[in-house]
């Protein structure tokens, strides 16, 4: 039960819980756990019509050339992959790693 002792609940003006504070180490563990969460910004970009891969790249503030360099491929080869809605699992896994996300986060 030590974990519960490290959690702080902050109530709002109405007396109901509004925030939960956890130790930074625990936050980083959860952040890096690859829980498959997709930020609102990424989802919003896909609603606007871009592919999930492009939405993640833009969310991360990367150019196609930067991701292509991480993958050791040409920018045009990456552009084709980014536009594709059907990738091999191995390609998807490599792209996810280059974007710093879990492979499952490229599935909607």
User: pLDDT tens, 79-99?
Assistant: 999 998 788 999 999 999 999
With contact defined as beta carbons under 8 Å apart, do 38 and 108 qualify?
yes
Are residues 51 and 98 both part of a single domain?
Answer: yes
Which residue segment(s) compose the domain that 71 sits in?
A: 40-106
Q: Are residues 99 and 46 in the same domain?
A: yes
The pLDDT assigned to 4 comes to 59
pLDDT computed for residue 37 by the predictor: 78
CB burial of residue 57 (10 Å; 0-12, 13-18, 19+): buried
pLDDT in tens, 32-71: 665 667 889 999 999 999 999 999 999 999 999 999 999 9
Report the number of distinct structural domains present in the chain: 2
Q: Are 64 and 99 within one domain?
A: yes
- How big is the chain by its Cα radius of gyration, in Å? 18
> Which CATH number fits the domain that encloses residue 46?
1.10.260.40
Please report the pLDDT score of residue 24 as a whole number.
Answer: 83
The pLDDT of residue 67: 97
């Amino acid at each position: 039960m030590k974990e519960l002792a490290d959690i702080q609940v902050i109530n709002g003006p109405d007396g109901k819980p509004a925030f939960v504070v956890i130790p930074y180490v625990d936050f980083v563990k959860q952040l890096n756990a690859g829980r498959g969460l997709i930020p609102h910004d990424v989802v919003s970009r896909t609603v606007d019509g871009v592919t999930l891969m492009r939405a993640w790249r833009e969310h991360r503030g990367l150019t196609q050339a930067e991701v292509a360099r991480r993958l050791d491929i040409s920018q045009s080869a990456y552009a084709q992959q980014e536009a594709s809605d059907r990738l091999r699992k191995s390609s998807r896994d490599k792209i996810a790693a280059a974007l710093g996300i879990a492979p499952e986060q490229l599935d909607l």
